[in-house]
DNA sequence: TTAGCCCTGAGA
DNA sequence: TCTCAGGGCTAA
């Protein structure tokens, strides 16, 4: 569930706490969703300093002083937090990083294990296939490029927005919310959407994501800030999670359909 | 391009 | 006990 705004917020909160900190020890659970060598992670991290944090799509990159990068994808239920005490008997705890001279350790918890962890030795040996093929960031892609990448596509726009090779970082919530704001039906195919409409969708995506970032993201189910606080953008959702309720704009009942294997909420009157 | 799978907890 | 939620990968 953590999408671009949630991941972006986590990085902002993590940065002041881990940047320039030296890693003392690392623990990995036996069933952590790790891509690559377990021993390498356990050997390579201790002694390294966190040089920086970056976001790529929904991935968090933790850059180490030696040039290596630890990549974290939170999947649906991944949570990052700090604590002075190690949670005992938590079967969902997958990574612990302790820092020199710091009482608090850094933890990764992931109930459904849809998340991913991977260590790369630099920019060029990324093992995560999704990260290697990541499309442009929706906040950076310009209108022309956005339209070009979608125009003439013959599958539902909703599925295309979720395709991380085309644009990276949009998930179910922000796809539904952006389509509502642009007045576009999630099942509509780009070949049948005017250029002006696609331009409006491009703007809606950027507006929605920026607003969500300012709100600290959407907290649904598991997403929490590193200090355990919740984001507030869920209070502004127009369609996501509102099926059966009235549209705030026209009072038509919000409907839910399955498109590209994902639930899609929309207003049948506002979105055509 | 799409269906099915992974995984677990919540709710019917 | 069954079904559903979902991101991303694989196979058809």
Chain A residues 96-125 within 7 Å (CB) of strand B: 111-114
pTM score above 0.85: yes
Confidence of residue A42 (pLDDT cuts 50, 70, 90): very high
Other CB atoms closer than 10 Å to residue A84's CB: what's the count? 8
For residue A221, the model assigns a pLDDT of 67
Residue positions of A annotated with a catalytic role = 2-3, 58, 262
d(CA A13, CA A80): 10
Is 70 exceeded by the pLDDT of residue A49? Answer: yes
Give the distance, in angstroms, between residue A77 CA and nucleotide B7 C1'. 10
Confidence of residue A97 (pLDDT cuts 50, 70, 90): very high
Task: Give CA separation, A196 vs A80, A148, A185, A192, in Å.
Answer: 40, 13, 15, 12
Which own/partner pairs from A137-141 qualify as long-range (CB within 8 Å, at least 24 positions apart)? A137/A4, A137/A56, A137/A57, A137/A167, A137/A168, A137/A169, A138/A4, A138/A167, A138/A168, A138/A169, A138/A170, A138/A205, A138/A206, A138/A209, A139/A4, A139/A169, A139/A206, A139/A209, A139/A210, A141/A167, A141/A202
DSSP A128-196: -HHHHT----TTT--HHHHHHHHTT--S-HHHHHH-TTTSSS--HHHHHHHHHHHT--TT--GGGS-HH
Chain A residues 130-149 within 7 Å (CB) of strand C: 130-131, 133
d(CA A148, CA A234): 31
Q: CA nearest A264: which of A135, A112, A160? A: A160
d(CA A60, CA A72): 5
Task: Give CA separation, A99 vs A22, A26, A93, A129, A140, in Å.
Answer: 6, 9, 18, 30, 34
A165 touches strand C (CB under 7 A): no
Is 80 exceeded by the pLDDT of residue A223? Answer: no
Confidence of residue A99 (pLDDT cuts 50, 70, 90): very high
Tokens of A161: 């927005």
Is 70 exceeded by the pLDDT of residue A222? Answer: no
Average pLDDT (A215-230) is 76
Give the distance, in angstroms, between residue A202 CA and nucleotide B11 C1'. 37
In three-state secondary structure terms, A94 is strand
For residue A128, the model assigns a pLDDT of 86
For residue A57, the model assigns a pLDDT of 92
A27 touches strand B (CB under 7 A): no
């Amino acid at each position: 569930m953590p999408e671009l705004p949630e991941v972006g917020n986590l990085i902002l909160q993590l940065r002041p706490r881990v940047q320039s900190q030296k890693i003392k020890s690392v623990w990995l659970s036996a069933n952590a969703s790790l891509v690559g060598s377990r021993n390498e992670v356990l050997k390579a991290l201790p002694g390294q300093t966190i040089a920086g944090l970056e976001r790529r799509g929904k991935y968090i990159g933790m850059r180490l002083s030696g040039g290596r990068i630890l990549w974290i994808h939170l999947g649906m239920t991944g949570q990052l937090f700090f604590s002075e005490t190690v949670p005992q008997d938590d079967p969902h705890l997958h990574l612990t990083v302790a820092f020199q001279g710091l009482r608090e350790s850094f933890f990764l918890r992931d109930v459904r294990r849809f998340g991913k962890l991977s260590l790369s030795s630099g920019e060029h040996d990324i093992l995560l296939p999704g990260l290697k093929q990541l499309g442009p960031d929706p906040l950076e892609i310009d209108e022309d490029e956005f339209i070009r990448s979608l125009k003439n596509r013959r599958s539902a726009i909703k599925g295309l927005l979720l395709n991380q090779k085309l644009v990276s970082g949009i998930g179910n919530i922000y796809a539904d919310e952006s389509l509502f704001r642009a007045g576009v039906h999630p099942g509509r195919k780009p070949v049948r959407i005017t250029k002006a409409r696609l331009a409006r969708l491009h703007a809606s995506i950027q507006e929605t994501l920026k607003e969500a970032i300012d709100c600290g993201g959407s907290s649904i189910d598991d997403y929490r800030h590193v200090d355990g606080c919740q984001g507030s953008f869920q209070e502004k959702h127009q369609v996501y999670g509102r099926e059966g309720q009235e549209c705030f704009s026209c009072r038509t009942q919000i409907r839910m359909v399955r498109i590209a294997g994902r639930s899609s909420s929309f207003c049948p009157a506002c979105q055509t």
